[in-house]
Each structure stands twice: as C-alpha cells, then as structure tokens.
Chains A and B, each alone.
Chain A
C-alpha cells in the first residue's frame, strides 16, 4: 500500500512532463495530451496572464488538492498584499512577509508559505503592477494616441507604481539579478513589454516583434535604474530621461532601416559594375 501511494505521489509530482515524455505511449495519445493542453491554454483567452498571476504561488496545485489549495492561495495573496505595506520598512524580506501575516492575525511564521521569501514578494509586486498598468491604460482613449505616446504613457504609468518602493527598489534589482531568480525577472520583464506593445496596438508577427520588445525592454530597465537615483520632485528627471531613450530608439530603428537601404544600394551597384565588365552576378543571370 505504501509502495503504491509513494509511486502515485511521484507520478503526480511530474504528471504533465512524464506523460508526454514516456516513449512507449502511442503517438496518438501523446498528440492528444498536447492538444488538450493547447486548447486549455487558448480557452483562457487574452486575459490569461492576469489569471495566471493570481495563482502562480504554486501552493501545491495538483489534481484533487486544487480545490483545497485555492483557499490557501487566497490567504497567500492576502498576505502578499498586506506585506507590501511593510516593504519600505523591512525591504523585500521574510520580515516584511511575516509582518504582513501578523497584520492579518496570523503568526508571523506563516511567511513559510513563500519558500523563496522576498523573491516571491517581488514576483507578486511585478505581476500586480503589470495588471494595474494594463487596467489604467485601458481607461485611456488609446485610439486617438500615437504609438510613441502610448508607449511613453505605459512606461510612466508602470514606473509610477514602483514609486512608493523606490528606496527599496535597488535591493529588489539585486535579488532579481541573482542567477536563480533571473528566469523570474526576465519572464516578468518580457510579459510587461509585451503587454505595453499590445496596448500600443502592435500586432506584428515578423522579426519586428522581437526587436520592438528588446528595444523597449532596454528603455524600460534603464529608465527604472535611473529612477532609483532620481531625487527630483515627482520623478520629473526620470520622465525626461525616458523621452531621451525613446528618441534614441526611434533613431536606432530609423538608422537600422537606412543602413540596410545603403547596404542594398551599395551591393547592387557593385554587382552592376561587375556585370558591365561581363561577370555573371545574381542580378543578371
């Protein structure tokens, strides 16, 4: 009995991976598993990211325990929310989480619900701020705005949410830069710039998709870094810095396409000259 239960626990622990990866399962079954997963993913619709954010504190989300643990998730989210108030005093630490749990009448040791401690709190803050940025942007009349204005507003809306915690933000950046936390940090940054571009009306499906997001990620992170050192009232200097970076990006984009044009012109001319001497080139073959 114990043996069965133990192996069952194991199987549950890695369920999706092990099903797909097992080689002796017929191909059709494997495909079906894939399709079910894909369909479920799609059916959660465009709002998928915000839903995922609410339950991503993986407090044992396995099969039959899902119903029970959703209650734990609610408690966990309440604690995270309450803990944010203590960040200016305690930083992104288990002390802040403990103080948050105490506020809700729980023993402070309940911070153990978050095995990564302060990193879980940062993760929660990033996802929450992204949702709030999105909600605020959707209130605006996006139709009448130009793309650059939309991106600028999105950046400012999002950065303003970091404002209350700016004195502690360098600590968060240090934690986010630790190798084990890099996937979390990059994941959140990627989702943020993706949402910003989506709100700005970008629907590109070519290589532009990557270059736009990479450039915006650069702009956003450098502005955020500037903001940690900004002492001007209401972060005025930060917004000026942001404008300069956005100009740079526009310049980079323009320059990149101009350079491509020049190169193309140069190459074609060179081949033209060669062909006038009787050489065969890709253009006159």
Chain B
C-alpha cells in the first residue's frame, strides 16, 4: 500500500477530470482554466490552440500514427471498431450504382467495406468511391492496402473536408466520414460542404465517438481511455502524446444531441432523433438526408 501511495498521489489530476466527464453536461472537462475557444482559438484535445495551428497539429498526429493506425484501432477497441464499421455499411446498404465520397477515409476501412458489400449484394454493380483525406501518410497506407486487396475503383484524393475543391455540387449519392469529423477545425463548414456535394435525396453518414450516458459504463470507459489507451499508444506505437490527444479529442467532441442539432442546422433532415448509439454510446452513427 505504501508503495502504491506515491502512485495514487501522482494521479489526482486525471481522476478529478474523470468526474466532470462522466456527468451529462457538454464537455468542459479541462481542469486547467483555459479560455473558451473564441473565434480565433479552438481546442486541440484539452489544449486551446490558435485555429490556424490545429490543422497542422492534427496533421502531425496522423503523420505519426499512420503506419500503426490499423493495429492500434484493433488493440484499443478489442476489434470492436470492425463491428461498428460493418454495421455502418450495412446501415448505409448502398445500391448497385451508388457513388460514395468517403471523407477522412485514410486507410480505407469504410471504402473497402462499401465495395465488398456491393459486390456481395448486387449482381452487376458499378459503384464508385472517392476516398479523400487531408493526410498523405494515411492515404499512402490506404493505397497500399487497396493494392493488396485488389480494389481498383477507388480514387484516392488529398483534400480538406472543409473545402471540397474539385467536387461538384450535387454529385455524390452518399457522404461518409468515420472517426474524422472530430479532428476538423470547423465542423460546421464540413457539414455545409457535405450538404453541397450531395445529390438531392443523398445521405450524410458519420461514425464518430460519442458520450456515454450510463454512469457505470462511463466511469469504466473514462478509466480505460485516460489510463490505458495512452499507455498502449506508448508501448505499441511508441507515441503516447498522439493517443493522449485521441482520448482528449473524443471528450471535446459535442455529445450526440448537440451534434445532431448541428447536422440539422446544416440543412439536413434527420429521422427520429438522428443517431444510433453503438456500445453504450462510445460511438454513434449520425445520419442526415438532403431533402
């Protein structure tokens, strides 16, 4: 016990932080008195940074983790992220000619599942995927995997979700963004761009971490994410900071009802409450229709 005491004393900061994250209020879990993000500043994990800095900081994070990204996803989620993504595509249930824009598509998890679903479901499919990511390192991993898996009809594009240059108005059937929108500086701009590029009747679908409402699960989830994930990141990917950012950015992302409101504000119609919780709300699938 005496051996443990210094350890316990070293930890009060994250634990007190846990308390505030476990409550139902929108995320204000920073223990340090950081100013609320004004028009010129935004959050980068629990840090407050200038808006023009965030993009390059996020770029660094994903540049660092690209090579071990898929392995870490499996380790951190115990493989559950695969189930989430499978369910995500089954919910989208694309048709034989669906044209998909997969934003922040990175290593291709969504794009490959999309193509696999279509070739398994429809007899003579002609789907198309534009896979867009801001980070060349992540795209490189995706291209390599596409080659290995023999997927040829994916257009890999480097681009920013906030300014979808080169993608015309009303040109895609479905817009997906999985675990990406959290890292964007201006979520509202991303949503407006999604609305612009979708055809009338098109579907916006977002898979993103959410907030856990069940207090018991929330407590365990917080312990897991603040204590184990950065450590695992340090051990496996040799990059503790990036995974510290990951868990912090999850807490800073708006909870499901607020994000659903943002989707509606961008002009989308939602069905029911607008999202589906996965694994107690650890992740959630948000949907909007351009109607």
Interface residues of A (CB under 8 A from B): 2-3, 5-6, 9-10, 13, 58-60, 68-69, 71-72, 75, 94-95, 98-99, 101-102, 105-115, 117
CB distance from A93 to the nearest CB of B (A): 9
CA distance A108 to B203 in the complex (A): 10
Q: Using CB atoms, name the residue of chain A closest to B100.
A: A109
Partner of A109, one of B92, B271, B291: B92
Q: Using CB atoms, name the residue of chain A closest to B203.
A: A109
B287 adjacent to A112 (CB under 8 Å): yes
CA distance A284 to B92 in the complex (A): 76
Can you list 5 A-B contacts with CB-CB less than 8 angstroms, sorted by A residue number? Answer: A71-B291, A107-B99, A109-B93, A109-B203, A112-B203
Contacts of A71 in B (CB 8 A): 291
Question: B98 an interface residue at 8 Å Cβ cutoff?
Answer: yes
A98 adjacent to B26 (CB under 8 Å): no
Q: Using CB atoms, name the residue of chain B closest to A107.
A: B173
CB distance from A87 to the nearest CB of B (A): 16
Question: B261 an interface residue at 8 Å Cβ cutoff?
Answer: yes
CA distance A28 to B200 in the complex (A): 48
Question: B253 an interface residue at 8 Å Cβ cutoff?
Answer: no
Question: B38 an interface residue at 8 Å Cβ cutoff?
Answer: no
User: Which residues, 178 to 215 on B, are CB-close (under 8 Å) to A?
Assistant: 199-203, 205
- A-B contact number at CB 8 A: 89
A94 adjacent to B200 (CB under 8 Å): no
Contacts of B202 in A (CB 8 A): 107, 109-110
Contacts of B287 in A (CB 8 A): 112
CA distance A107 to B204 in the complex (A): 12
Partner of B291, one of A3, A75, A111: A75
- A-B pairs with lowest CB-CB distance, top 8: A108-B95, A106-B201, A107-B173, A110-B201, A109-B203, A9-B257, A2-B26, A98-B95
CB distance from A43 to the nearest CB of B (A): 27
B258 adjacent to A5 (CB under 8 Å): yes
Contact string against A for B residues 61-80, beta-carbon threshold 8 Å, 1 for contact and 0 otherwise: 00000000000000000000
Contacts of A99 in B (CB 8 A): 95
Partner of A112, one of B96, B121, B289: B289
Question: B106 an interface residue at 8 Å Cβ cutoff?
Answer: no
A5 adjacent to B271 (CB under 8 Å): no
